[in-house]
Amino acid sequence: MKTRVKNSKLSSAGRLLPASALRLLLLVAPLSLSHGQEQGAASGAKDRLNLKNEFALFESEELLDVSLEFDLKTFLRKHPKTGYQQAVLAIRISDTDTVARKVRIRPRGQYRREVCSFPPVMVNFKKQLPAYSDTGKINKLKLVTHCQPGKISDENVLREYLVYKLYNVLTDTSFRVRLLRMSYIDAARTRKTIEQYGFFIEPDEIMALRTGSALVKSASLTQKMIVPSNMDRVAIFFYMISQWDWSVPGLHNIAVIIPPGHASSGKGITVPYDFDLTGIVNPSYGFPDEKMGISSNRDRLYSGLCRTREEFIHALEEFRVLKENFYSVVNDFPYLDQRAKKDITGFLDQFFSQLNTPREMERLVQQFMKTCKPL
């Protein structure tokens, strides 16, 4: 059996730009977004109408019941010719209230479309959906779906959701996610409704707006153009979760923003996403390229820039201090069984056991220095 390797498809076009030119490539997200909350219900309207108007997708972390009604047969074709399809998205916000939107949807993620029976979804809203109660309206939204029907894919979705929550522990300059109990309803009623877990990912522009940042759209970047402390944090996080499928050049599974106070430096901040092939998820599809020197999704590889011993130790110390916070994210999560939680925490144990003593941390630093990228 041939090993399937996820193709990163990194862009090599264009020359690399100096750090001082980075700020010229910015697309300032706040200028492209609508601000404020939707208009409140008219005076004297029922409380449930106020509830609908006050709903904001990323304001809460509670599980949402969501249905998506569309032409399942067309959507599940490997290479649909229709592009976007019409659909109705309904979000249940209480026992009696639902927020419904007419939307357009299309499959996304070329690799997942090839190996999965149900691809991830891009949702395009005709009427914008509030992201937060005070700011941000959503035009497009990524929906992470199951790969195959059944409990195994459900668990993979929940594991990937948790990886986002683990990175949230490190910094608020990260993507927020909303867990969903999805019902995919066939509009023609010729197929059985599919019920699986999924989650929405905060759009790039909303994340940039929330953090008061500008969004960088250039793919001609390198790790040298990233604030060193941020690049080290992300690279170590990727080592912790065993994320091999990433690259700053080409913005592969990485967004880059310029937060307040960093514009003058000409350096950006990386915000990672797309964790389906990490060691924590450990899916049955997609494996590292043999040229990377690792043979499975659970083999760890440090791919950040080379730093001094002292800089590596300083960066690792942040993770050591937050160890219990990471474990709490996993152990307090109500939607995974104990077997899965034990597997994840056992995998994290392998990383944190290297931070227990100065001698063990020194060994890890030496390991980083063997595989890091020269400055």
Rounded average pLDDT over 239-266: 92
Domains of the chain: 19-28+208-371 (1.10.1070), 34-206 (no CATH)
Q: Is the pLDDT of residue 258 over 80?
A: yes
pLDDT tens sequence across 74-116: 898 865 555 799 999 999 999 889 999 999 999 987 778 788 9
pLDDT at 52: 66
CA-based end-to-end distance of the chain: 39
CB environment 87-123: b (16+ within 10 A), e (fewer): bebbbbbeeebebebebbbbbbbebbbebbebbbbbb
* CA-wise closest residue to 195 among 209, 185, 203: 185
φ, ψ (nearest 5 deg) of residue 215: -95, 130
* CA-wise closest residue to 244 among 206, 208, 274, 201: 274
Rounded average pLDDT over 268-292: 92
Which pTM does this prediction carry?
A: 0.87
d(CA 272, CA 237): 10
3-state SS record for the chain:
CCCCECCCCCCCCCCCCCHHHHHHHEECHHHHCCECCCCCCCCCCCHHHHHHHHCCCCCCCCCEEEEEEECHHHHCCCCCCCCCEEEEEEEECCCCCEEEEEEEEEECCHHHHHHCCCCCEEEEEEEEEECCCCECEEEEEEEECCCCCCHHHHHHHHHHHHHHHHHHHHCCCCCCEEEEEEEEEECCCCCCCEEEEEEEECCHHHHHHHCCCEEECCCCCCHHHECHHHHHHHHHHHHHHCCCCCECCCCECEEEEECCCCHHHCCEEEEECCCCCCCCCCCCCCECCHHHCCCCCCCCCCCCECCCHHHHHHHHHHHHHCHHHHHHHHHCCCCCCHHHHHHHHHHHHHHHHHHCCHHHHHHHHHHHHHHCECC
Pairing of β 194-201 and β 137-144: antiparallel
pLDDT tens sequence across 219-230: 899 999 999 999
pLDDT tens sequence across 306-337: 999 999 999 999 999 999 999 999 999 999 99
Q: Is the pLDDT of residue 2 over 90?
A: no
Vertex 65: Cα angle to 118 and 51 (nearest 5): 140
d(CA 73, CA 186): 8
Contacts (Cβ under 8 Å, ≥6 apart) of 2: none
